[in-house]
Each structure stands twice: as C-alpha cells, then as structure tokens.
Amino acid sequence: MSELKLTDVAKSYGPVDVLKHINLDIDQGELIVFVGPSGCGKSTLLRMIAGLEKITGGSLEIEGQVMNDVPPAQRGIAMVFQSYALYPHMTVRENMAFALKIANLPASEIDAGVDRAARILQLEPFLDRLPKALSGGQRQRVAIGRAIVRDPKVYLFDEPLSNLDAALRVATRIEIARLKEAMPDSTMIYVTHDQVEAMTLASRIVVLANKGIAQVGTPLELYETPDNEFVAQFIGSPSMNLLPGQITETGQMTTVALESGGVAVSTVPTEASDQGKHVNIGVRPEHLVMTEDSSILSGVVDFTEALGEVTLLYFDKTKGAESVIAKLPGVQKDLRGKTVSVTAAPEKVHLFHDGMSMRK
C-alpha cells in the first residue's frame, strides 16, 4: 500500500482551475520533489496535502485513510516552511519541544525526542541558544528538527532553502540529504524551483505544468528520456535545444533534415508511416561537440561565456530555432564571430512530434 495516494485531485478558486487530474502514488521512504514554473501549483498541492488548502475534487489518502476532511493536526504530517517561523524568545530546545508540550507528552519523552532530533541534525551545541544567535542554515535546521520530534508519517518541505545564500544552500542541501539517509523509512515531499536541489535530493521528481503533471520519474529518467518538449527544456541547464526538421529516413536509425540546413541522426526508431513528418530534434547543449564533418548546425558564434570548466557558445538565431547553445568542455578561446559546426551522437538526439517524444 502506498504511504500517500492522490487520486484525481483538483483545486479551483471559483471558476479558476489551478490543478486538475492529479494522480500520484508515493511509497514509504521516498523523497518526492515537486518542480515546475512559477504559478504551476506546486506549493498549492503541498498545502492541500498538509490540509492548509481545501481539496476541491478527488481524494487524498495517507496509509489507506482518506484525509480530505481531516484537520491538519490529525494527518500525521509535519511541514517545514520557507520562513523558519521560530519563536524568537524561545531557545532551540524550547522551539523544538513546543509542539510536544502542547500535546501534553511526558517530560522524559519530550527530552528524548528533542535530543534525538538534535543529534541527527548536529544541533546539540546550540540547544540553549536563541534563534538570533544562529546562522540562517542553523535556523532552518531547527525548523526541520521541530518537525522531526513529532515523528510524523510524512514530512513536507516548502522551498526550505530559498532564503539562504548560495553557500548555505549547498551546505544545507547536503544536510537534508544526510538527514534522509539517517531516516530511510521517512517519507518526504519537497517543493523547490531549484533544479540542483531536485536532481540531487529526489527519489523521483514530479514536474507540474498546465494545471497537471507533465511527467514523473527519477532525475535521470527525466534528463535522459523526457516525455515531452516541456520536460525536455525544463530539466537541464542550459535548456535543451530544439530545432525543427523533417524525417527523411526511417528505421532503427532515423535521419532528419533540419530547416537550419543541418542533418541529425537519432537512435529513436521510426516506421515508414513517419516518413516526411515534421519534428523537432532535441539535443542538450552539453551533448554538442565541434565537428568538421556532417553537422547538426553550422553557424556564427554570437557570444561566449568562459566558465573555466566549460565554455558556452551562443549561436546567431538560425532558421526555425530561436537560439542554440553549445556547452563545450574546458576553455574555448577566440570563437566569437567565427563559424562553428557542431553535432551530437545519435543516442543523444531526441525526436518530438506535436510536442511529445517519439521514443516508444
């Protein structure tokens, strides 16, 4: 049985639909990450699971029990918010113990719960400090510890690292990954707009778009075999390049003549009926390599960004494609303004027809 099950869940505000037909099974011990563009409903979905937003349609089950009308405090869920929401006049220990005191648990049980959470999060040296004496990363760990002491069925994280600077984000992300390793049976749902967080933390990623789920899969599944153009361009940075063309040869190896004048070969198998179809070929910037032979694209480099470990080449807008970016290893000098040809291995070339992947 799934730990948490969403069946045809919907959310609307009057006549305005925010989410529709959300179907998702989450197993015990998974760390599920919701990603998607701003306004896609990922935080709204999280709040519906928490009971902070009413479910308009469908059902939410936790351990087989329908939770639609169950109050938030009785759902067995703990939520970590974007803001730390710590009581400034309470010590770390008192902040973490507060919910247990409200529940009238014995002092010995409260102390044991706080000590366990502090040990997991390495907060033991800070238990007697006030929040103002902590760094941002330490405050967020206290907020997480406050959730841990409740021993919930499901943990919910709503962009918990968005208020931290870049260095603290990396450090706290690693701490959350270690926390999950220390609590392998705990189920966690995590909302973020940061792809690095999603790719490094998630057991599976749920990509939300157009009021529904665009794709669910492991980070590598979404990166390597996106179901549609939206996921292909949303996952990965820089985004996957899309170039329009027409299928000229079908079979186990498919050839596409591109509007930009290049030729792409893909291992996506096609049938005779696909001959002549207009498609978009997708190729990630990091999979493009310079070539002097048959190329996917030959164009003038309009701009370069040397990042040390890689160099980004931005090509002039080509026919049918808004922009093309190549991500080449190392330092590539003196290419701006020059004509450069790039290609990709056939197994790295995706084919999309009417926005959907042609990979069977």
Q: Which residues contact 267 (CB under 8 A, 6 or more apart)?
A: 252, 253, 254, 346, 347, 349
Radius of gyration of the chain (CA): 24
State the residue for tokens 């409740």.
150
At 2 the pLDDT is: 59
- What amino acid is encoded at 306 in this protein? A
What's the pLDDT tens digit per position in 272-303?
Answer: 999 999 999 999 999 999 998 888 999 899 99
Q: What residue ranges define each of the domains in the chain, with the CATH number in brackets?
A: 4-233 (3.40.50.300), 240-357 (2.40.50.140)
What's the pLDDT tens digit per position in 65-101?
Answer: 999 999 998 898 998 887 778 899 999 999 999 988 8
Rounded Cα gap, residues 333 and 36, in angstroms: 36
Q: Which of 275, 243, 272 is nearest to 344 (CA)?
A: 243
What's the pLDDT tens digit per position in 5-16?
Answer: 999 999 999 999
User: Helix/strand/coil (H, E, C) string of 135-162?
Assistant: CHHHHHHHHHHHHHCCCCCEEEEECCCC
pTM: 0.90
Rounded Cα gap, residues 77 and 80, in angstroms: 10
- What amino acid is encoded at 331 in this protein? V
At 150 the pLDDT is: 83
State mean pLDDT over 309-335.
Answer: 85
Contact 207, 33 (CB under 8 A): no
At 235 the pLDDT is: 95
Contact 349, 266 (CB under 8 A): yes
